[in-house]
């Protein structure tokens, strides 16, 4: 069965609808997945140019995901209102539509009507409401799918960067960074590299928090107090986990090429180099969830919304990655029962 990929539309005043539209103009994608866009197709796509040389992009509008047609473009109705939108100008209505789309797609994913979710960009500020208080997609989905922890993992074919701490102020990072948290995040990363990326024995690098990875305590003690003991524990368990590495030299010398993934300790430490190297094609994946969720690695880009200038490459790569992960997890589900071995451990991350 083709992977059923749910797609939340993000903030309608941003470039979300445009990158979705441009991606699915390529009819060949229907050979790889069944796309299910959560929103009204007439609101989302009617304003975009029509190429007279290409087959028209049409969506089957349905009320419930149970009625989607395999191998067709589908759209699930999330609202009945007509929106008057000005590109680049977020409004309460565009934020409400973003929430409704995300919530509807998430419910159907939890119910098993979808195989994965690809989320278009939201405005974290404009999406807030009395019943939606989350810094971003990652935090909402972690709560919604009842995962003890999750991990933001930015990925391309040749570069993967995860973050121990996410959307929190920089001043709060040192207190948040504990051996327990680092252990949890590193286990999620290693498990995901095996389960979702098919890497049997992953090599993982962990960065230091301070300049020069603390310079043997001269510039900070977090490396000696937190990072090194955790890495020693993982190495004793047989994992290929190394560090702590000074972040500047690590990326500057392309040392990341020696590893399957890099674990940064705070948001910008990992995302700045990742987006510098792979912004156009990067994918944001939420590891540690019982479901698959990917997204483009960029934001709403209000500044170019409505100008038909948005590059859909990152969104398309997120779609491809979601499809690949569905197939990878299906293959593992078929193989695992056939492999004899000890009873599974209690931890969900082992």
Express each pLDDT in 126-135 by its tens digit: 999 988 999 8
Asked if residue 38 lies in contact with residue 4, where contact means CB atoms within 8 angstroms, the answer is no
Distance, in Å, from the CA atom of 81 to the CA atom of 93, rounded to the nearest integer, reads: 10
Tell me, yes or no, whether 87 and 212 share the same domain.
no
Query: What is the per-residue pLDDT across 288-320, written as a single tens digit (0 to 9) for each?
Result: 999 999 999 999 999 999 999 999 999 999 999
1 CB neighbour count, 10 Å cutoff: 8
Tell me, yes or no, whether 121 and 237 share the same domain.
no
**Is 279 in a helix, a strand, or coil?**
coil
- Which parts of the chain have pLDDT scores under 70? 336-350
Tell me, yes or no, whether 309 and 256 share the same domain.
no
196 CB neighbour count, 10 Å cutoff: 20
> Pick from 145, 143, 117, 140: which is nearest to 129 by CA?
140
CB hemisphere CA count around 2 (13 angstroms): 19
Tell me, yes or no, whether 19 and 124 share the same domain.
yes
Would you state the pLDDT for residue 177? 96
Q: 248: domain CATH number?
A: 3.40.718.10
CA 96 to chain centre: 21
Would you state the pLDDT for residue 346? 35
Q: Give the phi and the psi of residue 5 in degrees, each rounded to 5.
A: -105, 110
> Pick from 234, 305, 316: which is nearest to 283 by CA?
316
Would you state the pLDDT for residue 336? 67
Distance, in Å, from the CA atom of 281 to the CA atom of 265, rounded to the nearest integer, reads: 23
> Pick from 278, 304, 283, 276: which is nearest to 120 by CA?
283
* Boundary (domain end) residue, out of 286, 308, 336: 286
Would you state the pLDDT for residue 334? 86
Q: How far lies 344's CA from each of 119, 162, 194, 341, in Å? A: 32, 26, 16, 9
Tell me, yes or no, whether 262 and 132 share the same domain.
no
Distance, in Å, from the CA atom of 297 to the CA atom of 134, rounded to the nearest integer, reads: 18
* Boundary (domain end) residue, out of 240, 271, 286: 286
Would you state the pLDDT for residue 337? 58
* Residue 256 belongs to domain spanning: 148-286
Domain count, the chain: 2
DSSP 307-345: TT----HHHHHHHHHHHHHHHHHHHHHHHGGGS--SPPP
């Amino acid at each position: 069965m083709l992977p059923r990929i749910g797609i939340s539309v993000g903030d309608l005043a941003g470039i979300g609808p445009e990158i979705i539209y441009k991606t699915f103009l390529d009819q060949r994608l229907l050979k790889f997945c069944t796309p299910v866009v959560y929103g009204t197709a007439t609101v989302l796509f009617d304003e975009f140019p029509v190429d007279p040389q290409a087959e028209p992009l049409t969506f089957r509008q349905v009320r419930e995901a149970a009625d989607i047609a395999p191998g067709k473009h589908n759209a699930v109705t999330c609202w009945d209102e007509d929106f008057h939108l000005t590109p680049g100008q977020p409004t309460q209505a565009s934020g409400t539509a973003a929430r409704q789309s995300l919530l509807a797609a998430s419910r159907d994913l939890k119910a098993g009507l979808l195989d994965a979710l690809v989320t278009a960009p939201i405005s974290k500020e404009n999406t807030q409401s009395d019943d939606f208080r989350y810094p971003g997609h990652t935090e909402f989905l972690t709560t919604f799918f009842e995962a003890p922890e999750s991990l933001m993992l930015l990925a391309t074919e040749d570069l993967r960067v995860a973050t121990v701490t996410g959307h929190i102020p920089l001043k709060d990072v040192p207190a948040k960074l504990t051996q327990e948290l680092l252990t949890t995040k590193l286990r999620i990363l290693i498990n995901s590299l095996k389960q979702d990326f098919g890497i049997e024995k992953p090599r993982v690098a962990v960065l230091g928090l301070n300049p020069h990875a603390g310079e043997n305590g001269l510039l900070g003690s977090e490396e000696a107090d937190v990072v090194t003991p955790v890495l020693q524990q993982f190495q004793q368990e047989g994992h290929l986990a190394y560090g702590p590495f000074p972040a500047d030299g690590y990326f500057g010398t392309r040392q990341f090429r020696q590893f399957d993934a890099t674990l940064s300790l705070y948001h910008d430490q990992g995302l700045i180099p990742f987006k510098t190297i792979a912004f156009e094609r990067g994918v944001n994946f939420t590891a540690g969830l019982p479901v698959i969720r990917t997204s483009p690695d960029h934001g709403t880009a209000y500044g170019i919304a409505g100008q038909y200038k948005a590059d859909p490459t990152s969104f398309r790569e997120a779609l491809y990655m979601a499809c690949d992960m569905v197939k990878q997890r299906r293959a593992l589900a078929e193989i695992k029962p056939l492999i004899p071995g000890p009873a599974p451990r209690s931890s969900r991350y082992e």
